[in-house]
Amino acid sequence: MPEQGRRGDLGDRGGHHPALGPAGGRSVSGGSARRAAGVAAGAAVLGAAAVAGGAVLTWWTAQWTDTLVGPVTTAATGSDVVPELLPLALVGLAGWAAAAATRGRWRRVIGVVLALGGLWLAGRAVLAVLSPPDALAAALVRPAQAVGDPTRNLPGPALTVLGGMLLAVAGLLLAARPAGPPPPRSGVTSGSDDGSAPARPSPRRRDAGDTTDDWWKDLDAGTDPTTRPAGGP
């Protein structure tokens, strides 16, 4: 059957169609962009969740002796030590959503800001475990005598550092993500001398005199049979 043979020839000639370039080129690049976007989304969501989780965990505890009630224990959570953790976790998640909905320069700007914010959160968490916070003494209802040194609890800060790094990774992926092709515009070809874009010939209906062989001949010649003027060769 000649028509099936022609279809086979078109599928085997160098693995590409004249109008589409190398076979799989678009699908490969599109798949890579989708994977990068998926990784960025996962990193942003997990990073914001980790920072929020670290904010509610206890980072420091201290023992005191109250002359009226005896031993007293005070604790400081991540939000007590670094009050901006929860707000910045939400801002980071909203920033990723805004960057994913934009293109070009604005996406890169938001991605860089998100990456810097994630690194800042990680740095603040590290600094917060180097010295006891004032929140431990502020939690006392009246003056008391400290018993020993305050105790740091590392799971909360570690989770916050991890969340900040994930947000930074999400921001870098968004900043490095290619802008992608512009949205398609029908009926536009190369520009003319005055800067305007001439309209592409409108697709025509298949003439009654056309045969399937005529259309395959056009494809073999690298032309689009739908744009050949009606009644043309």
Residue-number span of the structural domain to which 96 is assigned: 35-58+79-131+154-176
In a domain, 101, yes or no: yes
pLDDT of amino acid 101: 79
In a domain, 125, yes or no: yes
Q: 132 near 150, Cβ under 8 Å?
A: yes
Q: 180 near 98, Cβ under 8 Å?
A: no
Q: Does 207 score more than 90 pLDDT?
A: no
pLDDT of amino acid 5: 46
Provide the pLDDT confidence category of residue 226 given band limits of 50, 70 and 90. Answer: low
pLDDT of amino acid 12: 45
In a domain, 170, yes or no: yes
In a domain, 92, yes or no: yes
Q: What is the pLDDT of residues 40-79, one digit of tens each?
A: 888 889 999 999 999 999 999 988 887 787 888 888 999 9
Provide the pLDDT confidence category of residue 200 given band limits of 50, 70 and 90. Answer: low
In a domain, 126, yes or no: yes
- Mean per-residue pLDDT of the chain: 74
pLDDT of amino acid 175: 84
In a domain, 138, yes or no: no
Q: Does 106 score more than 60 pLDDT?
A: yes
Provide the pLDDT confidence category of residue 216 given band limits of 50, 70 and 90. Answer: low
- How many domains is the chain built from? 1
In a domain, 39, yes or no: yes
In a domain, 172, yes or no: yes
Lowest mean pLDDT among 83-92, 160-169, 193-202: 193-202
Q: What span, in angstroms and rounded, lies between the C-alpha atoms of 97 and 40?
A: 10
Q: Does 121 score more than 90 pLDDT?
A: yes
Cα–Cα distance list, 59 to 79, 118, 205 (Å)? 9, 19, 72
Q: Does 189 score more than 80 pLDDT?
A: no
